[in-house]
Amino acid sequence: MTFVKSLLMASVGLSILGSQVSAAEYFVQPLTPGPVANTAVAAISLQATAPDDVSAPSAEQNAVTQPPVIPPVAVTDAPATGTAQNGAETKEPHKIAVSPGAKWVSARGHGEASGTTGGTTTTTPTAPAPTTPVVTAPSQTGSTGTPPTPSTTTPTGPAPVMTASQTYNSLGALLQSGKVQGGDRIYLLGGYHGQMVLAGLQFTSPVTITSMPGQVAHVDSINVRASSKIVINGLKVWPTSAANGLVAQVRSYNDSSDLVFSDLDVRAAANSTNYQQWNTTDWNNNQRSGFLIDGQRQTVFRNRLTGVYNGVFVLGQNALVEENIVDGFAGDAFRALGDNSVVRRNRAQNCRQTTGTHIDGIQSFSRGPTGKIGTGVVRNIVIEGNKFLEFVGARSPINCKLQGIGLFDGMYDGFVIRNNLISSTAYHGITIGGGLNSVITNNTVVHAMGTTGNWPWLRVSNHKNGTPSQNVTVANNLLSSLKVTTNPALGILQTNNITVTNALGEFNSVANQDFTLKSTSTAIDKGAPTLAPPVDIAKSPRPKGKAPDAGAYESF
């Protein structure tokens, strides 16, 4: 058995932000000039060891900084050992739904909690009419292998200088002029710009659309189709009209490629920053989602989502979802459905139960030739360095019970799940049903209130059709409950996992969601060195002691 050790990330898409010097600069006047209300958003720690350790970058930031690559964990080709578990546990209610008003691609109900093999054929939304003639994108195929390291690039040079000849009354007028070419930069001046619709824009090098430095540009939504090599950065994105079905504020289609969405402030409503005071009616009246992204090599990087229904969904292959914050959500925070994708160093917190569906930090599921869920294979996805926190601070009366990493409808081949923190009161911390050739290492899966007992659990199980998981290694995890047993016949290995029996003795502050280890922790130096990632969730090198610590944090 050859284990896939590394994946093609969307570094290809992210790398298009490289050292390209703009060939020209254009400026776009707003429909309504002037200050944009409700722009303030509180700083949230992205991957901190304590609540106030690191502040998230501002959405107004125009400089695009590339994230570092965390190297893949070294895994030998020797077959793993272990057994899959299929015990009957308490199930949580949820349903299959496709919003009829907006045709939001949804698959509620495919999850493990139902105990049934749900299925629905996803419906492709109808895009708004193109503003320019549609040009077919050139055929591009993905590749596999070690992903390239993205460069760290901050646009340099003098500040943009407006000229009358380079200034347009609308983005549509500029794009229809035919003047924009690869490498150009388009600056949206401060104020309200309406809906952003990009179609038929095929560039040979990246075109950046961003806000004018020192100004705030606001759009209702972003919709991209039949386009390639576009960077959309640093904008405010929320609607000015009432919700009309479960739509995504930022949407791209499968005829697009090499798009980057970065540093966007995405909300279901202008006042989503007040979601902590929303009741169920408020949530349902503001039921909009964040990103629904399709097509090859799409990057969703360092965005802030507030008070949304679903967070970031990527459907296409070779996607990168990195350093995004989802603060307040009532659906799934993340989904990754395309092969060779990476979901890394994101944070989701404060989920709300506004419907009968179960809610997940992240889901992935296979789709067969007909689109039916659970009838195919998803391959080579990395889920690493993420934080999925059911609540932070005071628990809301309508707080959800958050399932962490829910992989319920496989098969899942070549998955790497490492260095994640799941703080939850639900049953499924990490569950993979139908896993193949995968590793689950150095995750911390704990009860959000510090309760010890039977959940949240880490579980490896059969596919719902009975196909067993095979060649799955589960090692160095720190968790409330483990439902994996070594089985050499199936190649399942369970080793060096530590069960939490005293959360107060293990962690520095459960109340503050600080799951770094105390000096009294039983997880210290308990990890298997050959199975540990080289760095932890905070990018601290392993090991610090004689052996790696179990769990996501390397503390001693």
Q: What is the pTM of this model?
A: 0.81
Q: How confident is the model at residue 157 (pLDDT cuts 50, 70, 90)?
A: low
Mean pLDDT of 454-474: 96
Confidence at residue 453, expressed as pLDDT on a 0 to 100 scale: 77
Domain ranges of the chain: 11-19+69-87+95-123+160-531
pLDDT, greater one: 426 or 4: 426
Mean pLDDT of 186-200: 97
Task: Please give the radius of gyration of the chain, using alpha carbons only, rounded to the nearest integer.
Answer: 23
Mean pLDDT of 130-136: 27
pLDDT, greater one: 54 or 247: 247
Distance CA 204, CA 527 (A): 47
Report whether the peptide linkage leading into residue 543 is cis, meaning its omega lies within 30 degrees of zero.
yes
Residue 498 has pLDDT above 70, yes or no: yes
- The single-letter code of the amino acid at 537 is I
3-state secondary structure of 206: strand
Distance CA 414, CA 489 (A): 19
Distance CA 228, CA 200 (A): 8
Percent of the chain with pLDDT over 70: 76
Q: Which helix (H) or strand (E) holds 283?
A: helix 280-285
Distance CA 60, CA 18 (A): 20
Distance CA 186, CA 285 (A): 34
Confidence at residue 47, expressed as pLDDT on a 0 to 100 scale: 55
Say which CATH class 11-19+69-87+95-123+160-531 falls into: mainly beta
What torsion, rounded to 10 degrees, do the Cα atoms 531, 420, 263, 229 define?
50
Distance CA 151, CA 95 (A): 43
Q: What is the pLDDT of residues 315-363, one digit of tens each?
A: 999 999 999 999 999 999 999 999 999 999 999 999 999 988 889 999 9
Do 500 and 521 form a contact (C-beta atoms < 8 A)?
A: no
Please enumerate in sequence order all residues whose Cβ is within 8 A of that of 193, keeping only pairs 6 or more positions apart, or say none.
Answer: 28, 30, 31, 170, 171, 217, 218, 219
Mean pLDDT of 149-154: 35
Do 387 and 343 form a contact (C-beta atoms < 8 A)?
A: no
Confidence at residue 41, expressed as pLDDT on a 0 to 100 scale: 86
